[in-house]
Structure 1
Amino acid sequence: MKIYTKTGDSGDTSLLGGKRVSKSHLRIDAYGTVDELNAFLGLLKDQPVNQNRADFLKAIQDRLFTIGATLATQEDSKQVKKPDLEASDVLSLELEIDQMESSLEPLKNFILPGGHTSVSFAHLARTVCRRAERRVIELHTETPVDNLILQYLNRLSDYLFVLGRMMAKELKIQETIWAPRN
């Protein structure tokens, strides 16, 4: 398979199903942001502190690829075969959040991202996840998007926040509490 096709040289691209749209189309922005998030998940997975979570992070990457494929499929296309997101995917994030939170100090203040490069990567992934969620919600105002995708992205950003906290704990990094000026 050739990596370049030259079919997008004029600024448009094909959705799964064949429909051509502008590369600036909201649907392209939505699944492109999910792709960006997936790249950050790869970076997180590669951090030594996440060695024991690598399989779970890879599973999240798989789910993000599924979401991207769903978002890249034109609305009326029934013939495109792709994997589906399942309610159990959201539940698995919730279970991981609960497990990590059980060993963390309860959060009483806002915390600032940082303290260690690996922790900062988790916060970057969280913010990209929130942007992906906003793009998908915006797309949902134009054309229906499976509610499970919205739930998954929302829960994933929560997971990434808690993961950042857990990584800080494991790395013995003190969280920086946000102290607003009086």
Structure 2
Amino acid sequence: MQDDCSRSNGGEKVSVFKFSKKGDGGETSLLTGERVSKASLRPETYGTLDEASSALGLAKAATHNETIRQMITTIQQDLMILGAELASEGSNPGYSVDADLITRLEEWIERLQEEVAIPRSFILPGDNPVSAALDLARTIVRRAERRAAAMRDAGLLDHAEVHAYLNRAADLLFTLARYAAKND
């Protein structure tokens, strides 16, 4: 490791992430610059979205199905938008979940349900690594949905599309996991 916190990449110097230590006291910065406890509802909720995106990354890395890969990538991008919206307290209009994103999820659910039967009973996840990772992501999205509801109840979130998006995303991930069990 080089002392100047950079390394060579084929002759090109690449910067290495440097730690700031600003979060060592249990606080984090929102996109607005406000410092809040890492245990508060806002970072808890967007952190849960990050966790869901990572679980989706497991499924994406394991799948050989391009339909699944494309849907996962789009959902991960949506979750980043949603996380940015939560981290900016809705003050940045460039970061917003809207009705079009929800409609897209509904269309995908309908399309997938034409190809796979959806069980009317509880399922045991784990038909294959992809479907298992999608089911894991689904449960994490459901937790994010509960955290967003807690934000709403605390007066921290007044954007109905956030709740609808998370609800629909979890429904899609359930359906996509059944599709992956059959098609991956």
What TM bracket, shorter-length normalisation? 0.7 to 0.9
Offset at residue 106 of structure 1 (A): 4.7
Structure 1 segment 9-158 matched on structure 2, within 5 A: 9-74=24-89, 78=91, 80=92, 82-142=94-154, 143-158=156-171
Gaps of 5+ in 1: 172-182
Offset at residue 74 of structure 1 (A): 3.6
Offset at residue 54 of structure 1 (A): 1.9
Offset at residue 130 of structure 1 (A): 0.5
Change (3 A) 1:156 1:3: farther
Identical counterparts, % of pairs? 37
Q: Which amino acid aligns with 1:113?
A: P
Q: Distance in 2 between matches of 1:21 and 1:81?
A: 21
Offset at residue 21 of structure 1 (A): 0.9
Q: Distance in 2 between matches of 1:71 and 1:108?
A: 34
Change (3 A) 1:130 1:97: same
TM-score by length of 2: 0.83
State whether residues 122 and 160 of structure 1, in contact with CA within 8 Å, keep that contact through their aligned partners in structure 2.
Answer: yes
Structure 1 segment 157-168 matched on structure 2, within 5 A: 157-168=170-181
Gaps of 5+ in 2: 1-14
Offset at residue 18 of structure 1 (A): 1.4
